[in-house]
Every structure is written in structure tokens, then in C-alpha cells.
Structure 1
Amino acid sequence: MAARLPVHGTEFTADEIADTASVCPWNTDNYGLDHDHPGAQAYYDPQVAQFAAWDVDFVKADDMLFPYHDREIAAYARAVERCGRPVELSLSPGTDVSLARLDHLREHATMWRVRDDLWDRWADAAAHFARMARWAPWQGAAGWADADMPPLGRIGVRAERGTDRLCSLTRPERTSLLTLWLVSRSPLMMGGDPPTSPPGTIELLTDDEALVVLWHSTGNREVLRENGLVLWDRPGHRRPHPVRRRLLPGRRTPPVRDAARLGRRPPRRPDPRAAEPRGRPARRPVPHRGPARPRRRPLPPHGGRRAGASTTAATPPKP
């Protein structure tokens, strides 16, 4: 800006279109734009046009949501519309973004972060469950609340926080973390380095039944939060494959519940036979007809588990 460099295709210079009162909190050498100036839009238009010329499909625009820069967002989205190529726009960082902004976000972006950077601390991950419970009912083709990149596998490569390391979350914590991304239908982009991550991490991210929940489930919501136990329900899913639809005429997808225990182990259920009067035989359980019921297994601290069956192949939805 100090060099008064020209804005491409105009007679304006950078110092004329800058809003020096709008400073990025974590990168103070960046200014916002003065959108009352006619050269502000001209700054974004050639930038996005260059991305389109490079066949870029996805752009993440940072310093848009904290504080919420509604005119910056609208101007960048306008540049995307004018670039002549389909480009998905992601907004960040989402430190304190509110549902009150939903209509504006849907109008201008494909996805938007709803928290700041997430690292491998369980306290931060556990707090994320309540945040995504607010956004999950609104997920869909109109736009996606982004829970950030799950910090799985090898992380911290040239990072701003911590050293090069493997994710410090326990395996139950990693399972719960990924389960939240799946049931809340957050965009899933791994926050680690796949080639140098353990095989178990890759298996976790490529599990077919898990991806069915992410890609095809509907109506996902939190149904219980009590004594450290969180339960989510996904009542059904869209069946994208016509052959499978014909193979299962009239069959309803069984509900899937996803549980995460944020602190304590579940209490042991009392044995109903212990309440039988003395001298009388204990009642025998009624035989269960049909598929065998799953055995109840306690969740480990911070652990999560999917319950239910899936009848859909893990096929990504069509764009």
C-alpha cells in the first residue's frame, strides 16, 4: 500500500482503496477494503479471475468472519460469480460467528468456519459438540457450517502451535472427534499429513459406514446431553443409488445413534432378576425374534460409537 501500487485495470492505487481502520487481528500487515470506493471491487475481480485461469476450484478467504465483514464477503462472492468458472468459496475463521448470519452466509459462500483453529486438545474438541449441535439442523445444499480440519495423524508440520508431532488425542477421543464431523455433516478435510500419518488414522477416515453418515444422512441432531453423555440421532439418509433403492423396496433405513461420552463412564444397569422375591424362579427373558441385538458395551472416557445399521454404499453425492 505504501508503494501506491496500481489496482489492475483501473486508474486507482492501493492506498486509495484500503480501509486502514480495518486491520486483521492476527496478521496486522493486511488491511480491508473501502467498499464505498469504486476501486475496491476491481481489486478482487482480477484476483479471482486469475485463480479461475489456473483452474482453481476452491478458494478459502480468511479474515472474513471475525469480526463479520459483510461487505467484504459480498464483494468476494461477486468476484467469484464473475470469474467464469465454478469456484467454491470457503470463509474463515468463524471464531464467534452467529446463526443470525445464516441467510447472508448461504447467499455468498459454500461453507464457513464456525470456530477458530482446532488443535489436539480434548477440552477444545469437547466444547465443539455443543457448537455443532446448533449448526447441524441447518446443514445442506444451501451451505455448510465448517467445524475446521480435524487434527488427526501427523500434525504441526511447520505449524504456528506446537512442534511436528502425532495427534495427542487418545484413540477414543479421535473416534469421538471424527464422529462429530460425520453426524454434524461438516466438510471433512484432514488437518494432518496423510503420507506420514499412521495407517490407523487413514482407516478411520476411510471407513465406508462412517462416510455414509457424512454423505447421505439427513435430519441429524443432538437428542441428549446429560451427565457427560451426548447422543446424536440421524433418522434416515438419502439413497443416491437407484439399484439399491430397488433392492430394498419399502424398507426404511434403521436409525443410527452416535454417542460420545465427554467425561464419565456410563452407570451399570441393575439386573432386573435381582429384584425377584425369594423362593420364586427368576423370569426368563422373552426370546428375541429377528436379528441379534447388539451387546451393550460401556463407552470409554471421551469415547464414541456408532450404533445401528447402514444400507447404503459409501458413494460420494453427485455435485
Structure 2
Amino acid sequence: MQHSRTPTPPATPPMGWNSWDSYGTTVTEDEVLANARFMAEHMAHVGWDTVVVDAQWFEPTARAHGYNDDAPLLFDHRGFLQPVPARFPSAADGTGFTGLAAAVHDLGLTFGIHLMRGIARRAVAAALPVPGTAWTTADVADTTSTCTWNGDNVGLDHSHPGAQVWLDAMIDHVVGWGVDFLKVDDMLAPYHADAIEALALAVRRAEDKHGRNVTVSLSPGTHLSVAHLEHLRAHADMWRVSDDLWDRWDDVVDQLDRAARWAPHAGPHGWPDADMLPLGRIGLRAERGEPRDALLGTQERRTMLTLWCLARSPLMVGGDLPTSDPGTIADLTHPGVIDVLRRSAGGAELVREGDTVVWGAATADGTTRWAAVFNTADETRRIEVPAGSTGVVGRPGTLTDVWSGDVVATRPAVSTTGHDVVLDLDVPAHGVRLLRHGSAGEAGA
């Protein structure tokens, strides 16, 4: 089909809150607004600006810890999904998310929702009319195309002309509510090229009609291959590169490999997404686990944030912001760290030796450079790294530890190394030392 949308991804990676890690399928309007207000007051100054309602906002019997079989989804006479009024009272008048989107916009933020690939299974069974045609939802569905982990939808038959008509109308419907961000699931594993292209075309048409851009985020990224890069860039703004990530150290370590593979391809043409940040107060009514402060410690949290920023992954935090601990909020809004996300380019892994991993990045003009020395070992280690191998060069007193603000000294190298200076660092267990050479920028600019 190859309907290229010619997307215009955000000039820097999106930064926002998503309800999944805290509330799973059960988030309410009050909870969304509480997080939006907190973001506007405490986080927007460094660039946090998006609020996303994740899965099953249309499921009246949604519960924590999983999906219901043959769920009784709420949809209208065309098969277009509708928010559950019991959880989203502003939708009781039939205007969908119009009221909630407007409230989020009034805070200076953008509003997003989650969708599944395809069409509601029950809407197909009801054989509802496809707007403006003689076809029905039963005609345009592909009931053999299903999701392995959620039974709400079946696929659309994109060889049928009515499938695009229905999808165009449905996307126009939700964008008309004021939706600025669409997270569309079950797109990449397996890779549904036809569904991606059809979605891109529908979004382009809705953007043209409503006169604004919509960010398109595709997931999940199970075993996603870089071979799809050009297709993804042509049809989406960001795309997941892994399964769901939770607050486990092993999950963070696994992302080092994926980030190294995808970071060279991040930029204004599209953003590889290392997945949500399960930080702060999570698991309140989530898919996994009980209510808890994220199990990642301070050093592990800073390792995660440093890696995501150097790889220029979108930042989508999953913790309930109003009840998250102040240390987590301080790290999420650290100007020097967000500066890496917003100003760096060319982030890449430079060294990997045992438990030591070194990354580097720089501003486009090269006036500011960053290097991160990661220690994946279970104990603090003293690590010596030739400064030249990190991309940061300078004299003693010219390097700053971004997280602490401390000046980092270098020492002359042993003559046999062939390097001018050596970084001699104590790096905490599961931790990172993020170094900057050059000036800091304005993270919120």
C-alpha cells in the first residue's frame, strides 16, 4: 500500500506521563487530571508536556492485573470506541474525550490516548455500517488477524476498500476530540506494514482536516529489526524497541544493547523508544505487582535516565506523579540531564569492557560534549578511562559531573597509554558518572 504520511516528528524526543505503570486499564479522569496538574506545575519548565491515557478506557469492567476475556467494550453505532462514563464523567454527554482533552490543553499540555490495531471484535460481530458506504464492519474485518495478549480487537482487511474508509472515520473521530498523541499497540510484533501504512494515511487526513499535528507512537517492539527503519520513519514519529519494561535492574541492563543498536538512528526524522520509565509510585492498580515505590534504587534510576537521554529515547514516565517521592521528581526534572536529551546528537556506545560501558554524545556544533561511564557490576568500582576514548577532552577542572555538579579531575596518562589524560572515577554499583565538557544549555528551551 505504501501510503507515506510524511510525518513531522517533534524536534526533540517527546516527554510525558502515561497511566499504564500506575493504573493499568483502570485509570480515571480525576487521576489523569491530578497527574496533568502536577506535571504543569512541577515538570513543564524542563519540557514535560504530554499526558496519555493508556489501554481500555472503553472497557466498563476493566480491572487490575490483566484483561477480561470477551470484554464488553463501549462503542457507538459505527464501532468507534467511547470512554466509560463511570471513569470519565466528562464523556457522559457523548462527546468522548473532548472535555478531558480541553482540560489538559488548558494546562498548556498535550493529550494522548491508547488504541489497539484493528477494530473491536464485538463491533465486527454486530455488523455495523461503515460510514458513507454500503459495507459493514463485518465486511472490512480480518477475523484471522488477532493479538496474542489482548482479545479486544481483530485486524482490518486492508485489501478491502472499506477498511480505509472505516479507519479514516475512526481516527478523525478521536482526533476531533482534541487528541494530540496516539499510542497504537499490536503493530510491531509481528510487523504489520499494511496496518502501519493505513494508520499513517488516516492520521495524515485527520491532521489536514483539523489543522494540527498528531504524534504517532507504535508498540510493542519485541525483536524489532533496524531493517524496518525507513518504513518506520515514513509512517510514525516514535516506535518501541522492546517489550514492556518494568522496575527490574535486569530490564535496564538489557536496554543497553537495544539502545546501542537504535541510538544512531534517533533524530528529528523519528525517535526509537526504549519504553516507559517505571519510576516513582507505581503499581497502584497496574498490570503487574502491588502498589510500591519503584524497585530501582537511586543509582539504577539515574542509569536509566542517563541512558534514555543519551540514546534520545522519548521519556514517558509511568509513576503516579503526585504521590511519587521528591527524589524521583528531582531526577526527572534535573536540568543538566534533560539538557542531554534536548541538545545532544550522535549518542553512541563507545566502549564495552566487562561491567564497564561508556557512551558519548555532543551538541551539533561540538561545543558541549558528554560522556557516561556505566558500571553494571554489583559493587562500586574504580574505573580508569582514557578521556580520548569518551569524546570528552579537557584539562583538570574542565569536566563536570552532571548529576552531582562536582568538578571532575583528570590526571596525566601513563606514557605507554598514548593518551593525554585519564578519567579516574569511582562509579557506584549499577550506577553512572555522567560528565559534561562545555557549557550547559537551557533544558526547557
Give, as a single letter, the amino acid of the residue that structure 2 aligns with 1:199: P
**C-alpha deviations, 1:190-238, integer Å up to 9, x for none?**
121111100100100111111110001011100011111111001x214
User: Would the aligned equivalents of 2:356 and 2:376 in 1 still touch at CA under 8 Å?
Assistant: yes
In 2 relative to 1, CA 142–254 (structure 1 residues): closer, same or farther, beyond 3 Å? closer
| Other-structure match for 2:242 | 115
| Other-structure match for 2:255 | 128
* Pairwise CA distance, 1:8: 2.4
Task: Give the Cα separation in 1 of the matches to 2:186 and 2:438.
Answer: 40
Give, as a single letter, the amino acid of the residue that structure 2 aligns with 1:309: H
* Pairwise CA distance, 1:9: 2.6
Equivalent residue in structure 2 for 1:42, among 165, 174, 177: 165
Task: Give the Cα separation in 2 of the matches to 1:174 and 1:289.
Answer: 29
Task: Give the Cα separation in 2 of the matches to 1:148 and 1:9.
Answer: 39
User: Would the aligned equivalents of 1:133 and 1:222 in 2 still touch at CA under 8 Å?
Assistant: yes
Is the aligned partner of 1:259 residue 2:385? no
* Pairwise CA distance, 1:313: 2.4
Give, as a single letter, the amino acid of the residue that structure 2 aligns with 1:209: G
Structure 1 stretches lacking a partner, 5+ long:
240-251, 270-287
Is the aligned partner of 1:200 residue 2:323? no
| Other-structure match for 1:311 | 439
Task: Give the Cα separation in 2 of the matches to 1:120 and 1:237.
Answer: 31
| Other-structure match for 2:195 | 72
Equivalent residue in structure 2 for 1:25, among 143, 148, 157: 148
**C-alpha deviations, 1:159-187, integer Å up to 9, x for none?**
11111111001111111011111100001
User: Would the aligned equivalents of 2:375 and 2:430 in 1 still touch at CA under 8 Å?
Assistant: yes
Give, as a single letter, the amino acid of the residue that structure 1 aligns with 2:274: A
Task: Give the Cα separation in 1 of the matches to 2:334 and 2:383.
Answer: 30
* Pairwise CA distance, 1:127: 0.7
In 2 relative to 1, CA 309–34 (structure 1 residues): closer, same or farther, beyond 3 Å? same
Equivalent residue in structure 2 for 1:237, among 344, 352, 363: 363
Larger-Rg structure: 1
1:1-319 matched pairs, under 5 angstroms: 1-83=124-206, 84=209, 85-234=212-361, 236-238=362-364, 253-263=367-377, 265-267=380-382, 291=398, 294-295=408-409, 296-316=424-444
Aligned residues: 286
Instruction: Give the alignment's TM-score, normalised by structure 2.
Output: 0.61
Task: Give the Cα separation in 1 of the matches to 2:254 and 2:127.
Answer: 45
| Other-structure match for 2:20 | none
In 2 relative to 1, CA 23–316 (structure 1 residues): closer, same or farther, beyond 3 Å? same
SS at match of 1:106: helix
**C-alpha deviations, 1:281-313, integer Å up to 9, x for none?**
xxxxxxx77758624441111101211235242
Q: Which has the higher strand share?
A: 2
Task: Give the Cα separation in 1 of the matches to 2:440 and 2:223.
Answer: 36
SS at match of 1:189: strand
**C-alpha deviations, 1:30-70, integer Å up to 9, x for none?**
10111111111012111111122222111111110111000
Percent identity, please: 48
Higher relative contact order (CA 8 A, sep 6+): 2
Structure 2 stretches lacking a partner, 5+ long:
1-123, 385-394, 400-406, 410-423
Task: Give the Cα separation in 2 of the matches to 1:312 and 1:106.
Answer: 30
Task: Give the Cα separation in 2 of the matches to 1:6 and 1:15.
Answer: 9
In 2 relative to 1, CA 209–307 (structure 1 residues): closer, same or farther, beyond 3 Å? same
In 2 relative to 1, CA 3–180 (structure 1 residues): closer, same or farther, beyond 3 Å? same
* Pairwise CA distance, 1:75: 0.2
In 2 relative to 1, CA 7–261 (structure 1 residues): closer, same or farther, beyond 3 Å? same
